[in-house]
Structure 1
Amino acid sequence: MQKLFYILSVSIILSINAEPDLDLSLPELGDRVSGVVSNDQEKIIGNEFLKQVYSQAPLISDPLIQEYSELLVYRLSEYSQVKDRNFNVLLIDDNSLNAFAAPGGVIGINGGLFLNAQNEGQFASVITHELAHLSQRHFARNILNSQDNNIASILVMVSAVAAAVATNNPTAFMAGPAFLQQQSLRYSRLFEREADRVGFNNLINAEYDPSSMGEMFEQMAKLRRLAGDKIPEFLLTHPISSSRVTDAFNAADQVETPFNTKNSLNYEFIRGRLQIRYEDIPLNSVRKMKGLLEKDPYSNENRYALSLAYKISGQHKEALKIINSLIIENPKNLILVNTKAEILLDEGKSEDALEVVNIFLNISPKNYPLSVLKAKILAYDKKLFAAEELIRDQLLRRNNDPYLWLYLSEVQRDSKNVIGYHQSRAEYYLLLGQYEDALNQLQFALKLTESNFQVSESIMTKINSTRKSIKGLRGQ
């Protein structure tokens, strides 16, 4: 699938022959770029893109995977040239290898990227490449080079691209303007090379092994060989040649650095978590993970994955045995603690699960995955109002998280908080850009608040704002 402009496939075209002291600043274009598409307009475009993807794409709603991805993106951004670091990290529930960047600080990651990147260094090489697209403002520069810089045409393009990303349909983008396709073909190689150079240098600055990017290319080349006649679309449009792999390693050899970080424990656990998620036959995962552990008995990734395999097959005792052994080795690891509590809850031992979570929430107050899990434990014990308060507290920091709004509405429904249920559903639909559905929910809520002026006034304000958005979409 061609991800238009710099919404690009993770199959990066590498051409790293640059010296370590490469100038990574944006080319001197004066005010021409911002004159065509300002930073504020990129934010608007990015928000529209988010709504389209939220409403169409299957997303991974796993707080552990989400937090890991966000923390890594933010950490890598510290070594990038991105000025506005208010990112929205999307996790696409698709086991194919892909990642993309979109205007306004949107970073998209397929679940399959974790499966194909063998270590965190390889994974990070992809993310630094995508961050380079943002820092170099490739979207705005591509518009500058096009013949159509009308904002309406751009938004049509964004919708088409979002549809392609959401549906994994390589023809979906054809709905966009013709200039879009022409410009993406004409300029993508130039911008890819620039993103390669910038991303490579930032990878080094983040203290990862310089060979990580070359290793990622080897993984892509291997995938191409194994694909046979069914070559993935991103490898068709961005082929990985042996010379490109060689160039990547040659560039790494030229870097004199003491840093050789390739992996992290948390990456191994998250990768193991996704291995189980994408197992074709979940009940066969125990046998599969046992086989992998026989080959590498010290693999933290496979040990963790086997624990999850035992959990989904109902073998909680075996699952806890492995998790406890991992916790003994890594007593402060929040992923392991969170997973132990998940297993206990799945077994019906909610009190034990709550005790585990509370101990570590005292150490890491307001931690996102632990807080959501605690809310689930409380909901399991029918302590619904306490669960609602925990989710609301998380929404103070994650107000644009549709998963949290949806979960809050479910808790409110179970607690018979009908007004809150409709309000939360409305917020969920607003994030998806489904304004009519949001308006319906708000009107339901308003009918129930006739005797509460303060609440009804707040709902009316939201209704008026939603109606304004609907009129804007209709061009009124």
Structure 2
Amino acid sequence: MKQIFQILKKIIIIVSAILIYGCAVNPVTGSHEIVLMSVEGEKQLGEENARQVAEQMGLFDDPELVSYIQSIGQRLAEKSPYQDVNYQFQIVDLEEPNAFALPGGYVYVSRGLLVLLNSEDELAGVIGHEIGHVAARHSVQRLTRAAPIGLVTGITSAAVGIVSPFLAHTVSGTGSLLNSTILAPYSRTQENDADAIGQLLAIKSGWTPEGITTFLNTLDRETERKGQEGDQFSFFATHPSTPKRVKATEVRAVELNAEKKFQQKRYLIAKNHKAFLNKFNGLIVGSDARQGVIVEQDFLHPTMNIGLTFPGDWKISNQPQYVSAVNKQKDGLLILELQGEGNDPVKAAHDFLNKAKIANQSVSKLSIGGFSASQVTINKSRQEAIITWVAFQKQMFRLTSINKNLAATNRRDIKKSIATFHQLRSKEKMKIKQQRLRIISARSGESISALLKRVGSEWDKESCAIANNLQADVSLKKGQLIKVVISEPFKYGSTEITR
């Protein structure tokens, strides 16, 4: 009886939290809404998710460019109707064009989005839009609705399981918070609200309100070209767009420009179009070679100075924390990751076994690529795991394989691939290229195709036209500045951004 009483008491805490936090008034709409979170809770949740973004997605390390983004963001944030949070702005290291916001005022734009911008007004429109989501507490609503109650209240599933199995399931929750909520789409109403807030912030801060309209049209063309509507990392996957929404931003811009109180002088940080484009000259486009590149089935990492060849028909995925490959049948997996500092692979293997509480398991000592290594083979539940540690240049690398089909050739392919771990060779280093955005001055009457051929760009004319907000068959003017992508040799000896 006492246990039931304690459980019911905790459930009352949950209901009380809903009643207390649910009485919050939205700072933008002025309406009451159920948001199971205080401002302090919002800040804490934002901080936790910001840490996940940094760890799982990675932040783009370019102090000069980040400072520019922050300057625009802070000026817009000063006009925000929601001032209970400290707004922070970063560039997330994603090659896909996107932007998103977290509770607590964390706002991100991807470096892939920067490639498509053609004015500071567009950039201000995008950042203002994300501030709008924060100000209207859309990100709080989305995260609290998707997050388990336990994450918000601290109540565990064990505390309520006896009374209600369904509530226990709700408290515990499942899945990755980062993937399921940060990249979840907003509603059309929320998007329209964020557009309106962002456009108002833009014109109040010295930018034109039609910037977001221009960018949405550019992004719509790019999305259609790539056919990436289903890509979870694309802007429109998280920010649904419709012709009606775009038209609404266009009409709103006309109305805002017509209001006398907003008819003030524009104040640009980048004083002209050339200065704006030069902010992005040298920007990394596509995958960041500093994080490793994939050349056919070879994974080459220039900053770690290592290489590995994956099996011929396996699909490779390069992530910030690891590189992995899976076979077509999806019953074979191989992962390469940097475990940390170390020079004793046998000790690393034993430390792993002890931590995993795996007893009576032998550790093999071997040499891979001329470097000290160790290996453990674990068979459990009709699956085989081969875990290998390789010591290289005072760093410990770990290769983990999972084989779910012992009758197939997976074991042979896995062991053969593990044996290819090596220090980068001179010929391999020459293969590593980095795509960068460059600003080119056009010749009179030159076509986009002719310009691309002249500078040796790998971009097709449609991609170039979209990125420059032009039509593909346009005749360029003398001195017209055009963004192009050029593959350049990777510069060794520095991990810093090279402009």
Instruction: Report the TM range for the smaller structure's normalisation.
Output: 0.3 to 0.5
* TM-score, length basis structure 2: 0.45
Name whichever structure is richer in helix by fraction.
1
Highest relative contact order (Cα 8 Å, sep 6+), 1 or 2?
A: 1
